[in-house]
Every structure is written in C-alpha cells, then in structure tokens.
Amino acid sequence: MTVTPTEPQAYIPALRRFYVSLAPYSYSFIRFCVGAIIVRHGFPKVFAGGAAGLSGFLAGKLHLEPGLVWAWVVALVECGGGTLLAIGLFTRLASAALVIEFTVIVFVVKWANGIIAFAPTAIQPGFPGMVPGGFEFEMLLGLCCLAFLFGGGGKASVDHMIGKEF
C-alpha cells in the first residue's frame, strides 16, 4: 500500500499494517461492545427477578400500567435487543427499540438529575438496578444505537453474512 501525502503518517510506521487490517471491523467492534453492555443491564431483569422490582418503578413513578408488562418489555428489549445488536442480527430493528428506550430513560426518567451520572446527589434508595444520577451514560448508549440504526450491522455482522438487512 502506498501512502499518499494527504494520509496521516503513523507515529510508529510498523503498526500501520496492523491498523489498516483491523480498521474495517472497528464499527462492528463498537456495535458488539455496546450490545454486550446493554445485555448486561437486561440480564438481571430477565433472569434474576429484576422485572418485578422495575415494575413498581414503572407503575409508580412513570404511571405505565400494567407495570409488570412494561417491565418485561424493557427487560426483553435490553436483553434480547442487546444480544441482537451484539451479533448484528436485525441490527436496525433492535437499534430502533433501544433508541426508544434510551430516549425515555434520558428525557423522562433522568433529565431532572442533569447530565453528570456520578454526582454525589446520585445516591438514594430505590430499585437496586437503578442509579438515579445523570443521563450521560444512557445518552451515549442511545446515540450509539441511533448510529447503528442509520448504519446497520457493519461488515462483521450476521446481517452482512446473510446479505439482508431490516
């Protein structure tokens, strides 16, 4: 590969081949990591009884009735949608569901707390899976999911392997 004057030169030229070979997979790597983080948040809601605890919050604070049904929707969107996002299957569909969820979390649940997630005022009793701090983390995940909604699964995805996208 020849380097044109408009391309930036690597500080360590020996690493250039390494970077060039992995660059096409960087988008898919971020997609996998975001999906894995989201699955980790949904897993206890599905498999450790967290949906029951979440249902009280959804019914009480957000007035979403029936709370248990909405809690299972959230749990399945996080656990199932995060899994689909991580492997890149139905990437746009999973991303759309996650964008909706994170939009609600940011603007309805956490907006009043401000953007900083780990402020000292973020410690209060409640559902053990909920950190009532700011919304920076959820906003970042939501914006990443919005990017995946626009961009699809990328090269290293099941969508790409089967040759179909939603």
CA–CA distance, 58 with 36 (Å, rounded to integer): 24
Residue 19 domain flag: no
Give the pLDDT score at 33.
97
Residue 80 domain flag: yes
State the DSSP code for 64: -
Residue 108 domain flag: yes
Give the pLDDT score at 59.
86
Residue 22 domain flag: no
Give the pLDDT score at 1.
60
* 87-116 pLDDT tens trace: 999 999 999 999 999 999 999 988 888 887
Residue 38 domain flag: yes
Give the pLDDT score at 5.
59
Give the pLDDT score at 79.
96
Residue 62 domain flag: yes
In 3D space, the residue among 162, 161, 154 whose CA is nearest the CA of residue 24 turns out to be 154
Range of the domain at 133: 28-157
Give the pLDDT score at 54.
87
Residue 114 domain flag: yes
The ranges of the chain with pLDDT < 50 are 121-122, 125, 127, 129, 131
pTM of the model: 0.83
Number of domains in the chain: 1
Evaluated on CA atoms 28, 150, 99, 136, the torsion sign reads positive
Give the pLDDT score at 77.
97
Structure tokens at 130: 């909920």
State the DSSP code for 105: I
Q: How far is CA 71 from CA 49, 68, 131, in A?
A: 11, 5, 17
Give the DSSP H/E element, type plus range, for residue 94: helix 91-104
Residue 8 domain flag: no
CA–CA distance, 129 with 111 (Å, rounded to integer): 18
Residues with Cβ within 8 Å of residue 1, at least 6 apart in sequence: 20
